[in-house]
Amino acid sequence: MKPRNLINITDFTPKDIEAILSLAEKIIKSPEDFSHSCDGKILGTLFFEPSTRTRLSFESAMNRLGGSVIGISESGSSSTTKGESLGDTIHTVSHYTDIIAMRHPLEGSATLASQHAEVPLINAGDGGHQHPTQTLTDLLTIHQTKHDLDNHVIGLCGDLKFGRTVHSLITAMSAYPNNRFILISPEELQVPDYVKHFLDSKNIAYEEVERIEEVIDRLDILYMTRVQRERFFNEADYVRLKDSYILDNEKLKNAKEDLAILHPLPRVNEIQPEVDDDPRAVYFDQVGYGVIVRMSLILSLLGMGEL
């Protein structure tokens, strides 16, 4: 039997996700019940592309479960520089570890890697493609903050064209009844057509607007994203657009009292620091939920969850 992996958030059925979130809630309630669950287990963190935040979140999760972590955090120190194939590297690391979290700059690399892994493999980001543990983090944050995953008006703001977390969140939240999406972006950075086709095919309501102010009063959830310099084709476009979608206290005046403001972080200036003290800002709580949901995922893939 091949081990279970998480490559793409769509690998998980809504029932799978429910199991992950349900176990996460148990961990939140009694973390001490899980502090030795992974005693003697080893997580391998293979980061062929740097991502401090994601790597530390996985490491924290495994340590909180009593397990240990080994890994690489830069491609330069890997055997792949000696001409080894990614498959061989993964096959080898399978013998050192009980579960692997891999980040790699090439799209599709996680799928390839999972074919050579002899332990469960988690995709911690492959190129612009997929980053499913961020989506699980977002779902847990929404669930903990709003108490359910349905009947929400969800605003997504910023770079909706290249932001993989946005696409995954739309897909994931579309599985729950009566969610509606408001897509807030400059024309140049609208969601790709395949996302719109997906929403149309499911008969899910969405609208596209250009300014936060137009819609802020209707939102239950506002998911801000960073305008990533590295996604732009030229510097001039980046400079022109990067400050267009900045959230501040002024823009929040007309927002609902129970709005939840999320952000995958890191941010540059798309949310002003003054917003941090607003009780509706949950993006730093989101960081903590990211650790919890990875604990739940590790347990589940190792067969100690409810998956």
What does DSSP assign to residue 281? Answer: B
Is the CB of residue 222 less than 8 Å from the CB of residue 260? yes
The SS3 assignment for 99 reads: strand
244 binds a second copy (CB under 8 A): no
Catalytic position from the list 41, 131, 242, 294: 131
Catalytic position from the list 54, 89, 133, 225: 54
Catalytic position from the list 2, 15, 29, 82: 82
Rounded CA-CA distance 62/96 in Å is: 15
Is 226 annotated as ligand-binding? yes
Q: Is 131 a catalytic residue?
A: yes
What does DSSP assign to residue 254? Answer: T
Stretch that binds a second copy, among 34-42, 145-153, 187-195, 212-220 (CB under 8 A): 34-42
What DSSP assignment string belongs to 144-211?
Answer: HHHS-SSS-EEEEES-TTT-HHHHHHHHHHTTSTT-EEEEE--GGGPPPHHHHHHHHHTT--EEEES-
Is 273 annotated as ligand-binding? no
Measured in whole angstroms, the distance separating CA 64 from the mean position of its chain's CA atoms is: 20
Is 86 annotated as ligand-binding? no
**C-alpha pair distances (Å), 16 with each of 3, 19, 132, 151, 299:** 15, 5, 13, 20, 13
71 binds a second copy (CB under 8 A): yes
288 binds a second copy (CB under 8 A): yes
Tell me how far apart the terminal alpha carbons of the chain are, to the nearest angstrom.
16
Buried b (16+ CB within 10 A) or exposed e, 70-87: ebbbeeeebeeeeeeebe
Q: Is 280 a catalytic residue?
A: no
Q: Which amino acid, 143?
A: H
Is 112 annotated as ligand-binding? no
Q: Which of 50, 105, 108, 192 binds a second copy (CB under 8 A)?
A: 50
78 binds a second copy (CB under 8 A): yes
Is the CB of residue 165 less than 8 Å from the CB of residue 264? yes
Token reading at 227: 């305008």
Catalytic position from the list 64, 103, 104, 294: 103
Q: Work out how close the CB of 284 gets to a second copy at its nearest, in angstroms, rounded to a whole number.
A: 6
Is 186 annotated as ligand-binding? no
Q: Is 197 a catalytic residue?
A: no
272 binds a second copy (CB under 8 A): no
Size of the site for a second copy (CB under 8 A): 54
User: Which positions from 194 to 233 touch a second copy by CB under 8 A, shown as an x/- string?
Assistant: --------------------------------x-xx----
Catalytic residues, by residue number, are 53-54, 82, 103, 131
Q: Which residues line the annotated binding site for L-aspartate?
A: 82, 164, 226
- Residue ranges in contact with a second copy by CB under 8 A: 35, 39-40, 42, 44, 50-53, 56-57, 59-60, 63-64, 66, 68-74, 76-79, 81-85, 87-89, 91-93, 95-97, 226, 228-229, 265-268, 273, 284, 287-288, 290-291
Q: Which residues line the annotated binding site?
A: 53-54, 82, 103, 131, 134, 164, 226, 265-266
